Amino acid sequence: MFKRILIANRGEIALRVQRTCRELGIETVAVYSEPDRNLLHVRQADKAVHIGEGPATESYLNIEKIIKAAQDSGVDAIHPGYGFLSENADFANACADADITFIGPSGDAMKSLGDKVSARKIMEDANVPIVPGANDVDPADLTAAASAADRVGFPLLVKASAGGGGRGIRLVEKPEDLENAMRLASSEASSSFGNATIFFERFVSPARHIEVQIVADSHGNVSAFGERECSVQRRNQKVLEEAPSIAVTPAIREKLCDAAIAAAKGSGYQNAGTVEFLMDNDGEFYFLEVNARLQVEHPVTELVYGGVDLVALQIAVAAGGTVEDGLIDSGPIGWAIECRINGEDPYENFRPSLGLIDYVEYPNGPGVRFDSMLFSGLDVPVFYDSLLGKLIVWAETRDLAIQRMQRALQDLVISGPQTNIPFHRELMNNQDFQNGDIYTNWLENNFSMPEATKTENEIHLALAAAAIASLLKSQNMTGQTTSVSRASKWTAAARKNNTQEIVISSGESGWRRGIR
């Protein structure tokens, strides 16, 4: 087993990995950018190494700096978390070259599965069902592209081969829109991923986004931990996940897991990963992609599979351990739901909202888990994504899990930036969601936020007043504020350059933010 692990990430996921390491008796090394100097993952590590300024390209995405930090700290392994370098084949190879274990798949497996055209070919060879499509489309050859599109059929998706996070995707409903969609998708793919390759895929709609959690060891064994339902999406980004899926029967679950295991074995995959599928109303499913890392939504699987620790399994198999081959029979037990709590305003088209956390209060009680980096006085940097935390609940049934989530959302208090907590509360009360009548574009087609109510205004005005009173108490007798109430100079400078000034309004908009 490893003695010391560097966590090449920040915030919530870094804290998550640290907790498991402490339970296993493994020392941890944190890396941090300048605006993250006071984050909890830095404070709680056995050692912390400064790796650069705020922009991720100068810190968390800098392979050379992270490898040097690992070497200088004498670590045995690096855990990449998710995001940043977690699916970067060059980073995995750099770890191998430095004789440091990368807790994830090999660079070769990552590269072949990260390219969606290559992954489709691997799945075809492994007899995993794939969505009908056309690979390696040349956007410059309009005649050949139009012919390929006719074979696939409309509507279809133009997708970036190296895409991810909902980028590089265009829906084409009629032939005359094909040329422009290819140009846009290819251009976005080139600028975002450095690879302009595109392909066509039949548009399966309505469809559910169903994924299977796998853990594969170096001895040829692959464990499958059932499915997660990830159909509630906005702009191709997941906002809520649950396990199991209301639409998956035991027979379908077995087929899904068999396909996911075949996908892992066919690609020589090792460590934790997720095989994603689209499933239609008849229960037919098609391979979508492999996420070669731990997923944001992994806690829902942990909760319905007897409290399994997927991070501990990652570490074990990276150290040469074995896992059980096949579908894990112990679950799913009960139901788990995860809401992604983001710094964004659901009443203003989910405009990003970041800044000083005046006050935060975590929800508690049976079956409630809040994975987060938040604390009162934290200044959330503008350099990274808007995820503030993940609220996860478990209960015996889906209905009870929804009720528990409703209560937990009421108990979760975050004062300062606007959050999407009101959105999740509305979602929990939505009849379609409660019935499980959801699909990948359901949210955008059938859901809208109501106007903020007077009751909500009063509650949030009271919270803002309480937060301001708390900050005033933190001032000393000379009128100088404490370090808790001062914003990070790095973050303040970036916010001044990238956002407008935000003020609390006590007028009609109540607790809502006004732009001055």
Catalytic residues, by residue number, are 293
Q: Are 18 and 9 in contact (CB under 8 A)?
A: no
Cα–Cα dist 77/86, whole Å: 14
Among 244, 391, 262, smallest CA distance to 305 is for: 244
How many CA atoms, within 13 angstroms, populate the side-chain half-sphere of residue 187?
Answer: 6
Instruction: Using the structure block, give the residue that is written with the tokens 């006004």.
Output: 514
Beta bridge partners of 33: 52
Pairing of strands 271-279, 285-291: antiparallel
Q: Is the peptide bond before 366 cis (omega within 30 degrees of 0)?
A: no
Residue 355 CB neighbours (<10 A): 21
Backbone angles phi, psi at 214, to 5 degrees: -125, 155
The amino acid that residue 240 corresponds to is L
How far apart, in Å, are the Cα atoms of 459 and each of 319, 464, 511?
50, 9, 8
Backbone angles phi, psi at 258, to 5 degrees: -60, -40
Cα–Cα dist 67/62, whole Å: 9
Burial (Cβ within 10 Å: 0-12, 13-18, ≥19) of residue 456: middle
Rg for the chain (alpha carbons), in Å?
A: 23
Beta bridge partners of 377: none
Q: Are 403 and 395 in contact (CB under 8 A)?
A: yes
The residues, ordered by sequence, that sit 6+ positions from 144 with a Cβ below 8 Å of its Cβ are 137, 138
Cα-Cα end-to-end distance for the chain: 55
Backbone angles phi, psi at 140, to 5 degrees: -80, -20
Instruction: Using the structure block, give the residue that is written with the tokens 């109510």.
Output: 453
